[in-house]
A = this chain, B = another copy of it.
Amino acid sequence: MYQIRTDLALETQEKMQEDNVELKGVRFLEERVDKNLTISTVVIETENGAKTMGKPKGTYITIEAGNMDEEDEDYHREISVQLAKIIKKLARIKRDEISVLVVGLGNREVTPDALGPRVVDNLFITRHILKEYGKYAFGQDKVNRISSIVPGVMAQTGMESLEIIKGIIRETKPELVIAVDALAARSTKRLNRTIQVTDTGINPGSGVGNHRHGLNEKSLGVPVISIGIPTVVDAATIVNDTMYNLVNAMTQSPAFSQLGNSLEELNDAEKYELIRELLSPNLNAMFVTPKDIDESVKRLSFTISEGLNIAFMGGGAQRAHVE
C-alpha cells in the first residue's frame, strides 16, 4: 500500500476510505457546527487501529473552517471558542486550578514553522504573578497557573525539544502540557484551514521540523495535549501524490485504454518504483507552502492563543489581561 505522509489523522482516515481499507478499532464522527465550521473526531481505540493508521491510540479532533485564515475583525473568535471547548474536554481537567506548561514548538525563523512560537507570544501567562502576588492580583477565587516555553529547534540549541521540556517539567512540575506545532498535511487544500487537537502529544515524524523523539504522556510523565495547524505539505508528498493520481488517471481513462492496460499490469510496488526514480532526493528536505504564509501564520497563531486564553483564563475580567 502506498504510504502517505500527513500529520492529520483525518487525512489518514480519508485515505483509508479511498483505498477501501477496513478500519478496525477506529471510530469516526463528523459534526457540522455551522455552514463554515465542521468538527470531526477520529478515535483510535486499539493497537491494531493504531498500526493501520500509523498513529498512536487516542483521540484526534479536527476543526475545519474554510475561512479560517481570512481576515476577520476578531481573529475568528468563534473558532477560538470551539477550540477552548475541545481543549478542556480532551484535557479532562477535573480540578479547578491546574498548572499548565504551553510549549511553542518549531522554528521562529522559518515562516510556516513559526506557528508554535507565535502562539506563545500572545498567551496570558500567570505563573510568576501567582507566585509573587497570589490570586489577589487577579481578583479571582480560582486562577490557573500558566507558564510557557519556546525551546527552539535542534539546529539552534543542539538539544532535542524533549530534553529541554523534560528538564523544565522536572523543575516546575506542571500538571498538563500543551504542545503547539505547525503540521504537515497531505493536501494543499487543508493548509491553514484545519486545527487538529489530540491527547496523544507530538510524535516522531510530526511537524515541519523533525522532532526526533515524541512529546507525550509516556515520555514526559504528564498528560500532553497537542494543537497543530498544517502549514506545509512535504515536497515529496505533493509530487508523489500527483504522480500517483496521474498513473491512476491513466489506468482509468478510456482515452488511455491501452496505456491503462499496461499500467494495470504494474503492481503498486512497481508504480512506486517508477515514481521514486523520478523524484529528486532533494525533495525530502523541502516543503510546499503558500506565498502569503506570513499573513496566515499571524492570524492563526492569534486564533489559537485566544483559544488557550479562553480555555484557561475564562472570559470576563481575567480575559481583560490577555495581551
Q: Kindly state whether residue A111 has any CB partner on chain B within 8 Å.
A: yes
Q: Mark A147-173, 1 if CB is under 8 A from B, else 0.
A: 111111011111110011011111110
Contact call A159/B235, Cβ cutoff below 8 A: no
Q: Mark A276-306, 1 if CB is under 8 A from B, else 0.
A: 0111101101111111111100110000000
Contact call B157/A147, Cβ cutoff below 8 A: yes
Q: Which residues of B contact A256 (CB under 8 A)?
A: 262
Q: Which residues of B contact A121 (CB under 8 A)?
A: 156
Contact call B155/A110, Cβ cutoff below 8 A: no
Contact call A259/B263, Cβ cutoff below 8 A: yes
Q: Kindly state whether residue A93 has any CB partner on chain B within 8 Å.
A: no
Q: Kindly state whether residue A126 has any CB partner on chain B within 8 Å.
A: yes
Q: Which of B110, B120, B155, B189 contacts A111 (CB 8 A)?
A: B110
Most buried by B among A71, A148, A235: A235
Contact call A280/B167, Cβ cutoff below 8 A: no
Q: Kindly state whether residue A249 has any CB partner on chain B within 8 Å.
A: yes
Closest to A291 in B: B285
List 9 A-B pairs, Cβ < 8 Å.
A128-B157, A128-B160, A148-B158, A164-B167, A188-B280, A191-B282, A242-B279, A243-B246, A246-B274
